[in-house]
Structure 1
């Protein structure tokens, strides 16, 4: 016998109440008593009732869905962002449609087209920073767009991200205050605003401390995830660059890295040369990825406000979806420097 989807009418008939009462009870309306609401919910569970989202969307004139476009789901920062956005959206009754671009311009444009075709109510986007006009067009079509983590000044869109410039400045000042007078930064070579901002903050800290360098102290690490951009960063290239630094005979006092994965490569190069942090060189990272506290020595790093960004971005998007006007918001949230043994002078790793 073919199964049939349980309807509101079935629940109403079973309990001897009106369909309207069942609907109000299951949608949280205040005009239903708590005892009645409880009985209706229990009966809905017993009968196996599943809300028809498509029908609800037609009634409300809304898909009740938010689009989220990111570049790399393996990044712990984005994993936390996805979770926070999904939870915050669910509180307001919205489901989440997740799309991954893998740093591809074609993928970025296809994502915008997909969100428009599926009629999402709003979009949260980590843009590929080469040409973002399609996000402006999506916004102009009536689907509000909020950019995340990467600021694209050419776009007339809201932006919620990290104050990477100040975070890098504070982390670099910490190393300088610890006695470092020669420093280098291993930074990925993607042309994106977080990289540019971290580099700017690093250089500013050096300038404020009156520290120059014979060459450029910023070393580019070939762009991550060689086989697929959806894979985690590969510490291998940072390892090879760190090998060159170690074998060059002029070891800097401190090495900063643009993400904690690069610190894995730096640690290995130091270890193979019989060197260690912080005894021979101070090391600082970025991201406070789950493994950072368990390295030997534990890594000093910048903890990023992923949850705050996700919550703030959803709230800004919901306001736009309700018709809030005005100039685009550009908000950079503060991060936290987590000081551990890798940058504490006078300490040595356990033997």
Structure 2
């Protein structure tokens, strides 16, 4: 009588792991350590284990589910991005798993690992510097990935991001044309590509247009950073402030209200990313706009192409534009200086 063929349960028992861990190890899931994977593979070979053909076909089939990781669902920019992606995905017959990572690289890495175990067909992710290793594991596992908003050049992954230079240059030129010559900038963190590139764009615009008096507050992409930074810049006597992201824009408004500084009269203010909060101010806020809907739709289209085996461009860059509103569109008298 021939012995029964080895099962996955037999392999798991021999390797001292659970059945699910053995299955993931044999499938090359990056969540499983290389040491454990090697032990499972060795046991499978010794037991002459052969996966069931039907089970193997099931594992290789598509789930029609994609993962989306964003830094925050409180931030209107990323909430809109998630909504656009979900709507576009639904129209294409795809379901989405959305994870908010709280601007924390550790949470991003954990979310990516979980999405990998859920056998998603692909992932759209807003990355952080320092998360390269997690994306490398996804690449080795052949899970299609498209980065959104922020770049990680070392990964070589397809990326959709905006170019801050056109909008920032137009913003600085607009302020100068209206007589606002002492300009402050609320900068995002240097741990993100957007924080670095937007600060560089502001500095380059000031150099190009001859801004002699400029102030920079280096903070983070949080409302509290915008609030603290605005108070600091006001104390330095700036006549105008440009915010480097949505949540800092909201924090800046709160700081001005607290100080009883009237935007559009006492201070020229330009926010970042268009949203209803900025449009509904007593003095509607000018913004440097990235067109988040286009970013989200473009990212999803690239991911779908990747999942179908196509090779999309490594990087797609969309321009930023300046939308002028009353918060900055007023003339400052030549002899008026803020104190």
Separation in structure 2 between the aligned mates of residue 106 and residue 244 of structure 1, nearest angstrom: 31
SS at match of 1:154: helix
Q: Does 2:66 correspond to 1:80? A: no
The structural deviation recorded for 1:184 is 1.1
Match of 2:174 in 1: 174
Per the alignment, residue 258 of structure 1 pairs with 244
Deviation per CA, 1:121-169, whole angstroms, max 9, x where unpaired? 1111111222312212212322110000101111110001222233222
1:1-12 matches, within 5 Å, as none
In 2 relative to 1, CA 270–107 (structure 1 residues): closer, same or farther, beyond 3 Å?
Answer: closer
Question: For residues 289 and 275 of structure 1, do their structure 2 counterparts lie closer, same or farther at Cα, with a shift above 3 Å needed?
Answer: same
Tell whether the 8 Å contact from 2:72 to 2:78 is kept in structure 1 after alignment. Answer: yes
| Distance in 1 between residues matched to 2:232 and 2:296, nearest whole Å | 39
CA positional deviation for 1:265: 4.4
Mean alpha-carbon deviation: is it higher for 274-283 or for 262-271?
Answer: 262-271
Note the alpha carbon deviations across 1:246-298, whole angstroms, 9 max, x for none: 344xx223111113443444445545656433333311110122211121211
Once the two structures are TM-superposed, the CA of residue 102 in structure 1 deviates from its matched residue by: 1.7
1:334-349 correspondence to structure 2 within 5 Å: 334-346=319-331
Query: Do 1:136 and 1:157's aligned partners in 2 also have CA atoms closer than 8 Å?
Result: no
Residue matched to 1:303? 289
For the residues of structure 2 that align with 1:143 and 1:315, how far apart are their CA atoms? 16
CA deviation profile, 1:185-233 (whole Å, cap 9, x unmatched): 01233521111111111111110112234xx621123x35xxxxxxxx3
Q: 1:117 to 1:238 in 2, by over 3 A?
A: closer
Distance 2:205 2:276 in 1: 27
Equivalent position of 1:238 in the other structure: 226
1:219 pairs with one of 182, 194, 217: 217
Secondary structure in 2 matching 1:332:
strand
SS of residue matched to 2:106: helix
Task: Write the distance in 2 (CA, Å) between the matches of 1:342 and 1:103.
Answer: 29
Change in Cα spacing, 1:264 to 1:99, as seen in structure 2 (3 Å) is closer
CA RMSD between the two structures? 2.6
**Structure 2 SS opposite 1:67:** strand
Report the 3-state secondary structure (helix = DSSP H, G, I; strand = E; otherwise coil) of the residue aligned with 2:168: helix
SS in 2 for 1:343: coil
Residue equivalent to 1:332:
317
Q: Report whether the alignment pairs 1:319 with 2:317.
A: no
Unaligned runs of 5+ in 2: 1-54, 333-339
Number of aligned positions between the proteins: 278
Contact 1:286 1:303 (8 Å CA) reproduced: yes
* 1:313-347 Cα shifts (integer Å, max 9, x gaps): 11111111111237x52112123322111111249
Scaled by the length of structure 2, the TM-score of the pair is 0.74
Counterpart of 1:15? none
In structure 2, do the counterparts of structure 1 residues 319 and 272 end up closer, same or farther at CA, with 3 Å as the change threshold?
A: closer
CA–CA distance in 1 between the matches of 2:225 and 2:197?
Answer: 22
Runs (4 or more) in structure 1 with deviation over 6 Å come to none
Change (3 A) 1:316 1:258: same
> Paired residue for 1:14?
none
Matches within 5 A, 1:255-294: 255-267=241-253, 269-270=255-256, 275-294=261-280
Distance 2:112 2:232 in 1: 42
